[in-house]
């Protein structure tokens, strides 16, 4: 290395220090840890949602398959809600397969979708990029 490269080492050291500090701040701020904890019944619903591959056709918070609609707010949407959700589960509407859920399993799925609805909004356009680099979304339960 020539002596000319010396200044670069200082610059790189400075940038790495800055990067380290930035990471320290990001990973030690716990401002956006999810406030919602799924109830045991909702956890069962989430398990069913995964086991039966609902997500291969449906999205939650906009993520998932795109054959069926997003289910983030199906629980609170006008004209929809728990009975509407249950009606879909075992009837096989259009390309949605017919499942054979027990009443308890239907309740669990409804409970899961209820808790999803309580936290998320989709589509969520209320996003702000903060100075720290976090994207701050608006959540239902902090209104
Ligand atoms: C093969 C794809 C597929 C799978 C798997 C699937 N669905 Fe669907 N689902 C659909 C489609 C397509 C619709 C829209 C039907 C219509 O409105 O005609 C739908 C509609 C729904 C609706 C009504 C949504 C609304 O806003 O009107 C609910 C609730 C629902 N599905 C829940 C589930 C759950 C829970 C599972 C897993 C147990 C599941 N679906 C698995 C394709 C699927």
Q: What is the mean pLDDT of each run of 10 residues along the chain (143 residues)?
A: 74 96 85 74 96 96 94 96 95 92 97 92 88 82 64
Which residues form the pocket of ligand 1, taking CB atoms under 6 Å from any ligand atom? 49, 52-54, 56-58, 67-69, 71, 74, 80, 85, 88-89, 93-97, 99, 109
Question: What pLDDT does 137 receive?
Answer: 81
Residues 6+ apart with CB under 8 A from 118: 36, 140, 141
Q: Quick one: 60 exposed, middle or buried, by C-beta within 10 A (0-12, 13-18, 19+)? A: buried
**Per-domain boundaries in the chain:** 1-30, 40-119
Fold type of domain 40-119: Cytochrome Bc1 Complex; Chain D, domain 2 (1.10.760)
The answer to whether the CB of 106 falls within 8 A of the CB of 82 is no
pTM above 0.85, yes or no: no
Question: What pLDDT does 55 receive?
Answer: 96
């Amino acid at each position: 290395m020539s002596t000319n490269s010396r200044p670069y080492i200082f610059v790189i050291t400075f940038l790495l220090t800055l990067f380290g500090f930035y990471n320290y701040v990001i990973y030690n701020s716990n401002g956006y840890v999810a406030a919602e904890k799924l109830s045991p019944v909702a956890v069962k619903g989430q398990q069913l949602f995964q086991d039966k591959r609902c997500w291969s056709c449906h999205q939650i918070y906009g993520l998932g398959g795109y054959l069926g609609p997003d289910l983030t707010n199906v629980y609170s949407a006008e004209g929809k809600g728990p009975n509407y959700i249950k009606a879909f589960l075992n009837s096989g509407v259009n390309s949605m397969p017919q499942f054979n859920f027990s009443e308890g399993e239907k309740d669990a799925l409804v409970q899961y979708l209820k808790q999803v609805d309580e936290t998320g909004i989709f589509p969520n356009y209320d996003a702000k990029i903060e100075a720290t680099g976090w994207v701050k979304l608006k959540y239902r339960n902090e209104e």
